[in-house]
Structure 1
Amino acid sequence: MKILALDLGTSSVRGLVLDGDLRPLPDGLARRKVVLTAADDGTGTLDARVYLDCLLACLDELSQRGRLRGVELVAVSAQWHSVLPLGPDDEPLGPVLTWLDTRPEPPAAQAGPVDPDAFHQRTGTWWHRCYWSMRLPWLRARLGGTPTRFVGLVEYVLGRLLTDAPMSVSQASGTGLLDLCTLEWDAEACALAGVRGTELPELAPPDWTGRLRTGSARRWPDLARARWTAPIGDGAASNVGSGCVDPTRAAVTVGTSSAVRLLQRMPAGAQLPPLPDRLWRYRVDHDHVVTGAAYSSGGNLFAWAQRTLRLPTGAELDAALAALPPDGGRPAGVGFGGDRPPGRRPAGSGELRGLGFGTTAVELLAGLMHGVCEQVVDDLVGLESTVGQQVQVVLGGGAMAASPWWRQAFTTVLAPRTVRFGRHAEIGATGAALVACGRIAEAATVADIGRTDDQTSPATA
């Protein structure tokens, strides 16, 4: 059986074709970069129609190469927290608000949850600008038209391809409106958001599978009979793809942003264990949850430094970093994009300190990279408190694959824990495929976990 795994991220759209052993096929990867509109006022938006075009282009490319032939199953990893208002014609009334957008504020006269702790335990989230409970009223106040309903970006793009595209419980948990135990929309959260059930997506049942519309099947005949499985949040997919699927291993993933997460089996309806104040909890599927913390800073800081500083490139940059100790950069505050929940710092809170005329661009970069490492430590301790033991850490994500120095910096900061490196390059797509196939237990083997000083370049082809 061949599997098509889609990774609908913030910085790119990717399609990866895997064989029955979940190994990438030669020439089986197509990707398109995504243009994110970001500004110092906290804007972080995407154009939904352009994003859809990127996905179509990936599918067309794989089809033209003959790589879709024999695909029986389509798995999807998609960004959490996005929201898109749709009008009566199901067309967007504005851009997609991504996780990076920090502009939403609560209405002046509105109070938050009656019992904030109970709300946090029930939904795994807070009344915060990242979630629909605060985002939807803010959007309504700014829109020129009246939205008929709200969807996430993945529901919009799949809705154009499939006969139906309900919202998975994983994506719904990222809205902040879902009761994680009952797996129904939470009444108090919906009241804060000012929405009725008809304005929210239908929730996908545990056994949901989708099929292409007639027009889509004509465009990609090799996918006409393929089953599409319910999308899972990109953070959950990355945990599975990193091989971190039990309480002994936490994943630290650095892609565009960064996060630390722990996955546990907790079937729907089961009593959930207490959730520490600073951590969120979302659904992977109907049987698993992922608990953790996320940060707006990660590989995007590296990208900023590349654009802004006169950095060396390639082997020259690697050698310059290797000459520095893991803490050899200048002190940095990494709040360039503001805080993810529960923090409330706005965008533009980044800092570079301790500068002198002898400070080099590489030292500035190293300080930023080290700052990303340090932000993880306290939340990792909180995660360990939920399982009563110190855990092993597996590093993953594109930024980790690209920088041995960064991996070593994490190893130093997270000591005395054992720190390993997941060498599989496409952890989001592969994680989604593992969940879709019901093979989560095999994740550690597929992830190819190795040493952090491994110089092998991950490849998907």
Structure 2
Amino acid sequence: MDILALDLGTSSVRGLVLDERTEPVPGALARRKMRLAVGNDGTGTLDGPGYLACLVECLDELQAGGHLRDVGLVAVSAQWHSVLPLDAAGEPLGPVLTWLDTRPEPPAGRSGPADPDAFHQRTGAWWHRCYWTARLPWLRARTPVARFVGLAEYALGALLGAVPMSVSQASGTGLLDLRALDWDAEACELAGVRAGELPALAPAGWRGRLSPEFARRWPGLAGAAWSEPVGDGAASNVGSGCVDPRRAAVTVGTSAAVRLIQRAPAGVPLPPLPERLWRYRVDHDHVVTGAAYSSGGNLFAWAKRELRLPEGAELDAALDRVPVDAGVPADPRFGGDRPPGLAPAGSGKLHGLTFSTTSVEMLAGLMAGVCARVAGDLAEIESTVEHPVEVVLGGGAVTASAWWRRAFAAALAPRTVGHQPNPEIGATGAALVALGRLAEAADLTGISRTDDRRSPWPAGGSRP
């Protein structure tokens, strides 16, 4: 049986087919880039119908290539925190607010949780613009909303019919009681949300099926079971082989994050949560604790474009001449803070520029700035397990830059730091969760030294 893995990301939507060992089937990959609308006012949105159309195109491409004929299971990795307001007919009333949108604020004159620390321990979140506690009132003040969904529920609902929200996706809203696995009453009150305005929560082991219309369109998927979506950060941890307290994952894709997974079945008391860290659900049996940053690969892409940096091997060679601790001092918060921080978009800075400062030194400073923020929060994560952890780097941006991997290794020393070069860690992780094989991820092969310059797997091919 093959597995179709869908990655509903911020910068792209992808579909790829994996074999029963969760290894990529050669050539069975379809990808569409997404245009994220950003603005100086903190806007960070996606067009919902346009996103759905790109997902359909990916599946059309895979069907036309004959890649769906043996698929028995569909696994989904999807971005956390997104929200889309719908009317009574289920049609979008505006764009999708992504994690990058910093415009929502808690309503003026309203107080927050009665006990902020207890609220944080219970939901893993804060009363913050990133979460639905602040986003839903902000959206309701602008449009007559009938109900709210995330991007995953909108896209999958169009293909399968009404779908519930996984506990993993629900945990990213900031409205879920992580222990009880139900909507938190106080969080819903803060959000001003009424009965019927939130999606139903998926039970453990939920499976969906394509609607008759799309089953006819993609006959290879007509009999396939669809698994509940996994939050993209949790899926990346699993795909990186970081599924227990021995290893933390540092992932740099469009954004960046550092995370650690612990076993925590429903109803069992959760480990204490440090004030600076968030906590979400991987599934009904595991939580993931960490910190995230609005700058990652998007920062690298901005610098390459605006600083007119060289390409490919020429840029690698130029970075090689800059020691990992010798870049321009920088604050990489171009997109503002992720929770619990409140810095707005446009908070990035470069310090100490002179007439001899080069564009490559500016880039190196920005990249090193991300490393420093990760190092500080990793120390907080280690306090939850009371021992140092190994670190595995992953994600497209860090895979593309040997210099960035060396900079992370230096910033995170003396910890052991490795690199998982699989370009599809999110899709691989979602497949392992859907198959009930999360624990097997600890034995994933392919983790290499941070100074390796090439992935051991051919582009578009499978692992040896």
Are the aligned partners of 1:423 and 1:447 in contact in 2 as well (CA < 8 Å)? no
Give the match's secondary structure for 1:170.
Answer: helix
**Contact 1:22/1:446 (8 A) holds in 2:** no
CA deviations 1:306-354 (Å, max 9, x no partner) are 1101211110000000111112211111110000000000000000111
Which residue of structure 1 aligns with residue 33 of structure 2? 33
**Whole-Å separation in 2 of the counterparts to 1:445 and 1:164:** 36
Counterpart in 1 of 2:312? 314
**Which AA in structure 1 matches 2:337?**
D
Report what 2:341 is aligned to: 343
Q: Percent identity?
A: 71
> Are the counterparts in 2 of residues 311 and 361 from structure 1 also a CA contact under 8 Å?
yes
Matched residue, 2:15: 15
In 1, the alpha carbon distance for the partners of 2:369 and 2:43 equals 23
* 1:285 alignment counterpart: 283
Structure 2 distance, partners of 1:419, 1:37, is: 35
Q: C-alpha distance in 2, partners of 1:117/1:441? A: 31
**Residue 388 of structure 2 is aligned with which of 382, 387, 390?**
390
Distance 1:320 1:294 in 2: 29
CA-atom RMSD, angstroms?
A: 0.8
Q: Which residue of 1 aligns with 2:73?
A: 73
Structure 2 match to 1:168: 166
CA displacement 1:224-273 (0-9 Å, x = unmatched): 00000000100000000000001010000000000000001110110111
CA distance in 2, matches of 1:403, 1:117: 39
Aligned to 1:422: 420
Question: Partner residue of 1:399?
Answer: 397
CA contact (8 A) 1:424 1:447 kept: no
Residue type of the alignment partner of 1:371: G
Please list, as runs of the form range in 1=range in 2, the aligned pairs for 1:176-325 lying within 5 A after superposition: 176-325=174-323
Q: Shift of residue 108 of structure 1? A: 1.1
Give the secondary structure class of the aligned counterpart of 1:27: strand
- The CA deviation at 1:163 is 3.2
* 1:348-381 Cα distance to aligned partner (Å, 9 max, x none): 0000111111111111111111111001112101
Query: Whole-Å Cα distance in 2 between the matches of residues 387 and 148 of structure 1?
Result: 43
2:135: which partner in 1? 135
CA–CA separation in structure 1 for the residues paired with 2:105 and 2:131: 11
Counterpart Cα distance in 1 of 2:138 and 2:350: 33
Quote how far apart the aligned CAs of 1:446 are.
Answer: 3.0
Q: How does 1:83-94 map to 2 (within 5 A)?
A: 83-94=83-94
Does structure 2 conserve the Cα–Cα contact (< 8 Å) formed by 1:212 and 1:223? yes
Q: How does 1:365-380 map to 2 (within 5 A)?
A: 365-380=363-378
DSSP 3-state at the match of 1:198: coil
Letter paired with 1:437: L
Taking the TM superposition and a 5 Å limit, the aligned residue runs for 1:147-162 are 147-162=145-160
On the 8 A contact 1:426/1:460 being kept in 2, the answer is no
**Shift in Å at residue 460 of structure 1?**
3.7
Q: TM-score, normalised by structure 1?
A: 0.99
Which stretch has the larger CA shift, 48-57 or 324-333?
A: 324-333
- The Cα of 1:447 is off from its aligned counterpart by 5.1
Say if 1:281 and 1:291, in contact at 8 Å, map to a contact too.
Answer: yes
* Aligned-partner residue type, residue 104 of structure 2: P
Q: Deviations over 1:399-444 (max 9, x none)?
A: 1110011000000011000000012110000000000011111213
Report how many residues are paired: 459
For the Cα contact (< 8 Å) 1:71–1:226, is it kept in 2?
A: yes
Q: Please state whether the residue corresponding to 1:375 is helix, strand or coil.
A: helix
Q: Deviations over 1:15-42 (max 9, x none)?
A: 0100011110010111000000011110
3-state secondary structure, aligned to 2:236? helix
Can you give the 5+ residue segments of structure 1 that lack an aligned partner in the other structure? none
Cα distance in 2, alignment partners of residues 410 and 460 from structure 1: 27
* Native 8 Å contact 1:242 1:447 kept in 2: no
Deviations 1:176-220 (A, max 9, x none): 000000000000000000012300001000021000000010110
Kindly provide the amino acid, as one letter, of the partner of residue 95 in structure 1: P
1-structure distance, mates of 2:177, 2:311: 47
Counterpart CA distance in 2 for 1:127 and 1:455 is 42
224-233 vs 354-363, which deviates more?
354-363
Matches within 5 A, 1:346-365: 346-365=344-363
Question: Unpaired segments of 5 or more residues in structure 2?
Answer: none
Q: Secondary structure at the match of 2:148?
A: strand
Task: Tell me what 1:61 maps to.
Answer: 61
